[in-house]
Chains A and B, each alone.
Chain A
Amino acid sequence: MSRRSEFFRERIPVRDETLRELTNEPVPNHMKRWWFALGGTPAYLFLVMIGTGILLASYYQPGPTTAYQSVRFITEEVAFGWYIRSLHKWSATFMVAGIILHQLRVFFTGAYRRPRELNWMIGMGLLLSTLIGGFTGYSLVYEQLSFWGATVASNVADAIPFLGGFLKKTLLAGDSYNPHTLSRLFVIHAALMPACMVALLFLHIAMVRLHGVSELHFPDDTGAKRYFPFVPDHLFSEIIMGLVLMIVLSTLALVLPASMGPMADPLTTPEVIKPEWYFYVAFRWLKLFPATVAVLSMGCIVFLFLFWPFVDGWIRRRRPGSELSVGIGIVAVLCILGLTVWEALVAH
Chain B
Amino acid sequence: MASEPKTPPIETPISQSPDRPAQRDEPSQEVLSAGSTEDPTRRDLLSVALNTGVVLSLGASYGTLAGHAVDYLVPTHSEAKAWLYVAPCRGITLGSQVKYTAPSGAAIAVARVAAEDSAASFIALSSTCPHMGCQVLWEGSKSRFFCPCHNGVFNERGEGTDGPPKGQSLSRYPIRVENGLLFVEVPLTALPRERGHSAQACRQPVPLRRKAAQEAQGAAQPAEGLHATPAGGRSGDESA
Task: List residues of A whose CB falls within 8 A of some B CB.
Answer: 3, 6, 9-10, 13, 15, 64-65, 148, 151-152, 155, 158-159, 166, 169-170, 173-180, 262-269, 273, 286-292, 294, 348
Contacts and interface: CB of A to CB of B under 8 A. Distances in A.
B133 A267 contact: no
A169 B75 CA distance: 7
Given A290-B167, A291-B131, A170 B74 contact: yes
Given A267-B105, A291-B131, A348-B149, A180 B75 contact: yes
Contacts of B189: 178-179
B202 to A, nearest CB: 12
Contacts of B13: 13
B130 A291 contact: yes
**Size class of the B contact interface (CB-based, 8 Å):** 35 or more
Nearest to A266: B191
A151 B126 CA distance: 14
10 contacts: A64-B192, A148-B132, A173-B75, A180-B75, A265-B193, A288-B164, A290-B167, A290-B168, A291-B168, A294-B164
B166 interface: yes
A248 B16 CA distance: 47
Interface centre among B11, B168, B190, B191 (most CB of A within 10 A): B191
B158 interface: no
Interface in B176-201: 189-195, 198
Contacts of B130: 155, 158, 291
Q: Interface majority SS on B: helix, strand, loop or mixed?
A: loop
B7 A287 contact: no
Nearest to A178: B79
Interface of B: 5, 7-8, 10-13, 16, 73-75, 78-79, 105-107, 128, 130-135, 149-150, 160, 163-168, 189-195, 198
B191 A64 contact: yes
Contacts of B107: 267
B205 to A, nearest CB: 17
Nearest to B107: A267
A265 B79 contact: no
A286 B133 CA distance: 13
A173 to B, nearest CB: 6
A286 B75 contact: no
A292 B167 contact: yes
B171 to A, nearest CB: 9
Contacts of A288: 164
Contacts of B5: 3, 6
Contacts of B105: 266-267
Nearest to B73: A170
Given A64-B191, A178-B189, A10 B132 contact: no
B75 A174 contact: yes
Contacts of B75: 169, 173-174, 180
B194 A287 contact: no
B191 A179 contact: yes
Given A262-B194, A263-B193, A169 B167 contact: no
A179 B134 CA distance: 21
B133 A148 contact: yes
Contacts of B135: 268-269
Given A13-B11, A173-B75, A289-B164, A152 B133 contact: yes
Contacts of A292: 167-168
A118 B107 CA distance: 50
A129 B150 CA distance: 29
A159 B165 CA distance: 10
A159 B168 contact: yes
A265 to B, nearest CB: 5
Nearest to B193: A265
Given A286-B164, A290-B167, 9 more contacts: A13-B12, A148-B133, A155-B130, A174-B75, A264-B191, A267-B107, A287-B132, A290-B168, A291-B131
Nearest to B151: A348
A323 B106 CA distance: 55
B74 A291 contact: no
A289 B193 CA distance: 32
B167 A10 contact: no
Contacts of A267: 105-107, 193, 198
A228 B204 CA distance: 73
Contact of B165 (A3, A178, A290): A290
